[in-house]
Amino acid sequence: MALLAVGAVVYIVRYRRRTAALRRMAAAKGWTYKYAVYPTFTLKLTAPPFDGAGRRAVRHLIEGKVGDRPFRAFDYWLTLGQISEHWGVVITPVPASMPLIMIDRRHGMHGDDEGALASGSEIATESEELNRRVRIATVSPKTASDVMAPAVVQLLLDGGDTLSHIRFNGDIAVSVGHEIAMSEDVAERINALCTLVESIPSFVWKDHPLEGASPRPRSEPA
């Protein structure tokens, strides 16, 4: 019992330190921070890990812009019965209605089948090194191939854990981290996703015009 009590105290101290660090980071960069919000905006997201049944929760929401690009970063919790899973997530809008594309580090969040789509297929890029590292699954192979421009391929090769799980889900680009990150890692993930989206050729967006608006970070003009 004593060890459990000590463990609980250590967890609480670390959690409070992380909360304070995220608040400071957001303030220093001119971003906004909220400890908890209703997870309504996540209902638009349908790719893993947002496809699971259970009670959703959003904590440590950070909103702001990188350059002119708005984003949301947050901890996402999914609880079903006594089992709870959590991830660190960054999302940013894209000017298109994209078919589902999932880019996942092999042997990722859910093992060897990471990136599999029941009605989709896997594509390969011109980079053999990237093909060894990640699986790209999609319902639209042409669109996924268009997304994987040389600049995007290089960012994925260089990005490491900051770009280990990427989804294009309608008009939202999503970066998912298997574990909740510390403040400095959150900033890296935000910058990495925003840079990746800005590196996608503009014709990709034109090929998939918006069919309807999804929830936007409030920092984005209507």
Q: How many CB atoms are located within 10 Å of the residue 138 CB?
A: 23
Q: What is the pLDDT of residue 106?
A: 86
User: Which residue(s) pair with 102 in the sheet?
Assistant: 137, 167
Cα distance between residue 32 and residue 40, in whole Å: 18
Q: How confident is the model at residue 213 (pLDDT cuts 50, 70, 90)?
A: very low
Q: What is the pLDDT of residue 221?
A: 39
Comparing 163 with 1, the larger pLDDT belongs to 163
Say what percent of the chain tops pLDDT 70: 81
Q: Which DSSP letter does residue 25 get?
A: H
Q: How confident is the model at residue 161 (pLDDT cuts 50, 70, 90)?
A: confident
* pLDDT tens digit sequence for 189-201: 999 999 999 999 9
Cα distance between residue 92 and residue 69, in whole Å: 7
Domain boundaries, the chain: 2-207
Cα distance between residue 81 and residue 84, in whole Å: 8
How many residues does the structure list for the chain? Answer: 222
What number of helices (H) and strands (E) belong to the chain? Answer: 6, 7
Contact between residue 100 and residue 46 where contact means Cβ atoms under 8 Å apart: yes
Q: Is the pLDDT of residue 5 over 70?
A: no
Q: Is the pLDDT of residue 215 over 70?
A: no
Q: What is the pLDDT of residue 127?
A: 96
Q: Is the pLDDT of residue 45 over 60?
A: yes
* pLDDT tens digit sequence for 84-116: 888 999 999 999 999 999 999 987 555 444 445
pLDDT average, residue stretch 54-64 = 93
Q: Helix, strand, or coil here: 163? A: helix
Q: What is the pLDDT of residue 178?
A: 73
Any idea what the Cα angle at residue 115 is, between residues 113 and 118, rounded to 5°?
Answer: 80
Q: What is the pLDDT of residue 222?
A: 36
Report residue 29 CA to chain centroid gap. Answer: 20
Cα distance between residue 33 and residue 27, in whole Å: 8
The torsion of the CA quartet 194, 73, 124, 146, rounded to 10 degrees, works out to -40
Comparing 44 with 11, the larger pLDDT belongs to 44
Cα distance between residue 177 and residue 160, in whole Å: 11
